């Protein structure tokens, strides 16, 4: 590894540790995040949500999602709650036939949270509305 790559890797790990804790804590938190997500929502629903979000041009993680295989890639590769690019689904709830989804990317305190409203149709989920969520 070149010196600059090694220095970058050290800085990257330092940043992750400052934000989310040491590697073992991050792995433990990630396992808990996915266990909770899967307990509350089916994997096909989660993947369908990601498919819709991948088409939203104003959503920062959309390009990366489009480059991945949403149908087959492991969820921890698609959703990265404690590693770059820091993307997670933070709240998913049904309100009638509408599904509200809060997605956090980057630094939530810096405005990296968006709310999406998806509509359940005969053809599957479709984007109904989107907007920035206010961050207190």
How far apart, in Å, are the Cα atoms of 99 and each of 15, 16, 35?
A: 34, 31, 21
Q: Higher pLDDT residue, 108 or 79? A: 79
Domain that holds residue 127: 3-132
Q: Write the pLDDT tens digit of every residue in 23-46.
A: 999 999 999 999 999 999 999 999
Pick the most confident of 9-13, 65-69, 102-106, 131-135.
65-69
Provide the domain count of the chain: 1
| For residue 135, pLDDT beyond 70 | no
């Amino acid at each position: 590894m070149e010196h600059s790559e090694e220095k970058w890797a050290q800085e990257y790990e330092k940043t992750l540790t400052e934000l989310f804790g040491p590697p073992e804590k991050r792995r433990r938190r990630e396992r808990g995040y996915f266990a909770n997500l899967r307990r509350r929502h089916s994997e096909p629903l989660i993947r369908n949500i990601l498919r819709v979000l991948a088409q939203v041009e104003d959503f920062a993680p959309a390009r990366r999602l489009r480059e991945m295989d949403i149908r087959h890639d492991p969820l921890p590769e698609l959703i990265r709650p404690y590693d770059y690019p820091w993307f997670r689904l933070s709240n998913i709830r049904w309100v009638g036939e509408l599904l509200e989804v809060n997605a956090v990317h980057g630094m939530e305190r810096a405005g990296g949270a968006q709310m999406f409203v998806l509509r359940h149709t005969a053809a599957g989920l479709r984007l109904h509305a989107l907007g920035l969520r206010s961050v207190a």
